[in-house]
Amino acid sequence: MLRLSFAVAIYLGLTLMLHASEKTVIGAQVYIEPGQTPQEIEHYFQLLKTHNMQVCRIRMDESHMRDNQGDFDFSLYQKAFDEAAKNDVAVFATLFPTNVLSAASSAGGVGGFKFPESEAHLHSIERYVQAVVNHFKDHPALRAWVLQNEPGVAGNVPDNDFARERLSEWKSIKDTVSTYNGFMQIRHEQEAFIRDYTTWYLQWLANKVRKYDVLHELHVNPHMIFSNLADYDFPSWQRFLSHLGASMHPSWHFGYFNRNEYPLAMAANCEIIRSGAAPLPFWITELQGGNNNFSGYNPLMPTEEEIAQWMWTGLASGTKGIIFWTLNPRGTGFEAGEWALIDFKQQPTCRLEMASEISALVNATPDLQHLKPLHDQVYLLYSPESMVLQRQSVIRSPEIRERFMAREEGGHIKSLLAFYRVFQERGIGAQIYNMDQFDWQGDSKGKVVILANMAIIPRTYYQSIQQFVQKGGRLIVTGQSGHYDEYVYNVMFGQWPLQKLFGASLKEFRAGNNRYDLQLSDATIPTHFLNGIIVPEGAKVLGVNGSGEAIAIKHSFGKGEVIWVPSMIGLAAWEKTEPGFINFVLDHCKPSLSPQPVESSVDRRGLLIKHFQGSLGTYSLLINKTGERQTLYLQDGYSIQKVIFSLKQPSVKNRAISMQADDCMVVHWKRDSLKHLK
């Protein structure tokens, strides 16, 4: 765990005190660019005010701030800041130095460069930061500096001398041992370097801002969270950030999900950022507001129903703010005429009206301004090292006759998300943590930790995992988890270091079909591709194959226990969830789960249920993306005080809630229900 210095601890304490009293706010990016008239800029900020939006984000594009002589001309952005102040809109100002040619060549530089390209470029960035921060730091509209737009490069080291020199310096201070127990050492240096390099550059930017402005908040918004996680060292970022955000664009970032699963994707994205930020607040810094055709992997036009579903998912997850990308469409270049909450006549769309309605409700309801999610003691852990291994092991060739998810990037995170989906469809507040941020030293009694297809478990965690179980925790391990250590050394060959904990060892992994069944003593569970054969050494066998070989075990260790199914049941469930997997998950997590206020008698695929709490009340978010009407039955001891939001007027009678397809509703529970919801 990260050990904070005294100064950092004091900074964190003051930051948390500051944010504890701040209410949740909704807003949108106002895209400022040359060619806009003063009247248009005035109109944009008036729209924000009349639509109950109290925050905006402005990209401080250096290329828009230079006059013909190359001197800074801030008049365009000064107008925007002045209009923000006039309309009581706080500004998140994104530092955006002029794009270098290599960043601009592929996609118009819409996202900005991620690293400096030379010493001269670094000095140019510093001069830009000095000029912009000094000019706007005293403006009453300024709330926060966004250090960089969307850090994260999927582990790719930039192809320039500056990065190569930094990599050489980085290597010189790292362990240079080339063998490991007599074997070669695989280090994935490129990805490890990018993680440190990203942190170095963000820290450098923070230091430059703090040189001129010690007052305002600092922020950053990572993106592509389900593939870029290995680039991010969230604990280190806490040294200089005031809060952490994220871009959450379904058309760019949710490629692993179908459209009816976007609320699930939003919930998982929020959970990862929430745990990564903790104890700092988290924000949704960018949320797709409008149509896109040329500027998205999977272009789409959000419906007003989806705007509501995404917003409420963020609010129920505890976000302190949501900023849409964008209010107004960009006029030229990549993204021109796309993404906006207003139409080409500069009038509000139904999407903006929906966002306004929800923002007005939050503004008018003090109890909705300080929300926190309700969590169960179930923890899904991810390993950046496993994500890197799977990314690096992808083989792309026209000669491949059959593709398997197990051999593609995302096998680890999809396995984790399959468990998460089961929990979210039932209102179970599962938490997602990096291995490095989970509190291994805390009281483990009553907690469940799930390691889903985590191919690499670094050796540094072996003792912590063992102590977690020994003190009373339950460990559920599936897929290829634990096959390698951080050096991609096959620790299962010979004496497995976790053999005593598991009461068993692995004979081998056997490749099978894309989908086939495992027969456990209490369930039939579909699995995918790899099937692990276990050698029990004290553990209780939970299932055998046709040859009588063990394929699943349970083992008591100290006050806790381990459940091990070394087959890819998570990946099979990600493709298609069946009752066997659901029952396996719920049965083995049951001691750690809270009673649920609603139950469904039919298939839940596409439901999302999240419980959350304000300072005075407890609420539940219900989203129906199943494609058909759903009836949810209230359990004994739960009574609804009021339906505070709904899209399609659900029927609530005879202790049942009837929801139409695509509905989204928020219920406020009567106070006597509080004792049931943790």
Rounded CA separation 1/609 (Å)? 32
How far does Cα 674 stand from its chain's mean position?
28
Q: Look at residue 348 and tell me if it is in a domain.
A: yes
Helices (H), 56-214: 75-86, 101-107, 119-136, 161-172, 189-212
The burial of 8, by beta-carbon neighbours within 10 Å (0-12 exposed, 13-18 middle, 19 or more buried), is given as: middle
Domain harbouring 217, CATH code: 3.20.20.80
User: Which residue's entry shows tokens 């990946």?
Assistant: 571
Same structural domain, 402 and 261: no
307, 329, 364 - which closes a domain: 364
Q: What is 554-585 written as a DSSP string?
A: EEEETTEEEEEE-B-HHHHHHH---HHHHHHH
Distances (CA, A) of 145 to 41, 98, 142, 240: 21, 17, 8, 12
199 and 247 assigned to the same domain: yes
> Residue 18 domain-assigned?
no
Q: The CATH number of the domain where 408 resides is what?
A: 3.40.50.880
Query: What was the pLDDT predicted at 107?
Result: 38
Encoded amino acid at 297, one letter:
Y
Predicted local distance difference test score (pLDDT) of residue 383: 95
Q: What was the pLDDT predicted at 632?
A: 95
β-partners of residue 27 are: 55, 323
Do 290 and 415 sit in the same domain of this protein? no
In a domain, 543, yes or no: yes
Which residues of the chain register pLDDT less than 50? 1-11, 17, 103-108
256 secondary structure, DSSP code = T
**Single residue among 364, 388, 407 that ends a domain in this structure:** 364
Is residue 101 assigned to a domain?
yes
Overall number of domains in the chain: 3
- Contact between 490 and 499 under an 8 Å Cβ cutoff? The reply is no
DSSP output for 184-216: E----HHHHHHHHHHHHHHHHHHHHHHHH-SSS
Can you say whether the dihedral through the CA atoms of 8, 320, 368, 614 is positive or negative?
Answer: negative
Whether 391 and 280 map to the same domain: the answer is no
> In 239-335, where do the E strands start and end?
247-248, 284-288, 321-325
User: Which of 455, 479, 433 lies closest to 385 in space, CA to CA?
Assistant: 455
Predicted confidence at residue 108, as pLDDT, reads 39
Query: Does 16 fall in a domain?
Result: no
Q: Are residues 637 and 666 in the same domain?
A: yes
Is 245 contained in some domain?
yes
Q: Are residues 487 and 606 in the same domain?
A: no
**Residue 553 maps to a domain:** yes
DSSP state, 327? S
Q: Are residues 451 and 510 in the same domain?
A: yes
Residue that the structure tokens 């004792």 belong to: 675
C-alpha torsion sign, points 19, 21, 22, 23: positive
Q: Same domain, yes or no, for 532 and 626?
A: no
Q: What is the full DSSP assignment across 347-399?
A: -B-HHHHHHHHHHHHHHH-GGGSS-EE---SEEEEE-HHHHHHHHHT----TT
For residue 207, give the amino acid letter: N
> Is 439 in the same domain as 579?
yes
Tokens 């800074």 belong to which residue? Answer: 72
Task: Tell me what pLDDT residue 407 has.
Answer: 86
Q: Tell me how far apart the alpha carbons of residues 254 and 226 are, in angstroms, rounded to a whole number.
A: 8
Kindly tell me the sign of the dihedral angle through the C-alpha atoms of 409, 411, 416, 421: positive
Q: State the CB neighbour count (10 A cutoff) for residue 653.
A: 7
Domain shared by 428 and 532, yes or no:
yes
Domain boundary among 592, 624, 641: 592
User: What type of residue is 618?
Assistant: T
- The token pair at 183 is 């074997």
Report residue 615: phi and psi, to 5°: -70, -20
DSSP string, 269-282: HHHHHHHHHTTS-B
| Spatial contact of 300 and 251, defined as CB atoms under 8 Å apart | yes
H or E element, residue 517: strand 516-519
- Residue 259 to residue 205: CA distance in whole angstroms: 37
Contacts of 546 (CB under 8 A, 6+ apart): none
pLDDT at 8 (0 to 100): 46
Q: Which phi and psi angles does 627 have, rounded to 5°? A: 90, 0
Q: Which of 249, 583, 265, 259 is nearest to 421 (CA)?
A: 265
* Amino acid occupying residue 609: I
- What contacts 143, CB < 8 A, 6 or more positions away? 55, 90, 91, 92, 216, 217
What is the DSSP pairing of strand 530-536 with strand 504-511? Answer: antiparallel
- Within-domain flag for 369: no
Question: For the chain, percent helix, then strand, then coil, each to nearest 5?
Answer: 35, 25, 40
Q: Are 56 and 30 in contact (CB under 8 A)?
A: yes
Residue 435: its pLDDT value, please? 96
Distance of alpha carbon 417 from the chain centroid? 11
Measured at the alpha carbon of residue 414, what is the angle toward residues 271 and 195, in degrees to the nearest 5? 65
Same domain for 257 and 198? yes
Residue ranges making up the domain that contains 245: 25-153+191-364
The verdict on 465 and 325 lying in the same domain is no
What's the pLDDT at 406? 87
The single-letter DSSP state of residue 635 is: P
Residue 408 region by backbone torsions, left for phi larger than 0, else alpha for psi between -120 and 50, else beta: beta
Pairing of strands 560-565, 550-557: antiparallel
